[in-house]
A = this chain, B = another copy of it.
Amino acid sequence: MTALVDAASPVGARRLYRDGLVVPTTGHAPGFTQANLVMLPQDWAYDMLLFGQRNPQPVPLLDVTDAGSFRTALAPDADLRTDLPRYRVWRDGELVDEPTDVVDLWRDDLVTFLIGCSFSFETALLEAGVPVRNLEQGRNVSMFSTRVQCRPAGRLNGPLVVSMRPVPAALVATAVQVTGRMPQVHGAPVHVGSPGELGIADVARPDFGEPVEFEPGDVPVFWACGVTPQAALMSSRPPFAITHAPGHMFVTDVPDSAYRMP
């Protein structure tokens, strides 16, 4: 007996990853929200929760589990230990492994943070007629560490990380308005043009992700990015943490429209 499973639905996509498919999640379960994942021991959970409260643009918390639970309100049937295509394991702030599940690493004191992702607003940009160059070019979005520091929370601190998208000058206002209505998935841009002001020397050389080509007349537009909490983990060095691997997100059952303001 063969079950029909494909990546068009959240349940189907998660089952494929659980059964061993390892691919970036872009384009899977279109129209459903994908989330960044951070798992931390309870001893560090207060600092992360406060870091999210104090830095809502880069760290919009969509759900926080009870300690020891691998269930989330964002997808009640999902198992957070197995349902992402790839994870990253961090010890003392160093990346030590990239497994495809974390069942053997599970601990009863782990708290999972699910954090909004800009994939959600790329659909909204396209619908509003704003081209998304990284999608057109089949590349991962360009991301940069900036010289802007997040507001610290307990032991957690680190730089604001931004994603950059080239936007035609005549459509920058539209891009601001469309994403400004989605505060839970990073909201309006934090910066438009002038990359040097953020401490970015060259927009063609991102710190994370891939370079994305500009079309004539495009302006670099910068949004707060969900990689920010990973950067904070790298600089604050908790003894143990698990995150998603870049681009290998948690696919939720929540439609993108749920995070759009009217």
Pairwise interchain contact A262-B177, C-beta atoms closer than 8 A: yes
Q: Does A64 sit within 8 A of B, measured CB to CB?
A: yes
In the complex this chain forms, how many copies of it are found? 2
Interface residues of A in 126-150 (CB under 8 A from B): none
- CA A73 – CA B180 in complex, angstroms? 23
Pick the contact of A49 from B53, B66, B151, B177 — CB < 8 Å? B53
Pick the contact of A64 from B45, B54, B180 — CB < 8 Å? B54
Pick the contact of A61 from B53, B151, B177, B181 — CB < 8 Å? B53
Pairwise interchain contact B50-A181, C-beta atoms closer than 8 A: no
Q: How many residues from A make CB contacts under 8 Å with B? A: 19
Beta-carbon nearest neighbor of A261 in chain B: B261
Chain B residues with CB under 8 A of A46: 45-46, 49
Q: Does A52 sit within 8 A of B, measured CB to CB?
A: yes
Interface residues of A in 205-262 (CB under 8 A from B): 261-262
Q: Does A183 sit within 8 A of B, measured CB to CB?
A: yes
Bitwise interface map of A from 153 to 171 toward B, beta carbon under 8 Å scored 1, else 0: 0100000000000000000
Chain A positions near chain B (C-beta within 8 angstroms): 45-46, 49-50, 52-54, 61, 64, 66, 73, 151, 154, 177, 180-181, 183, 261-262
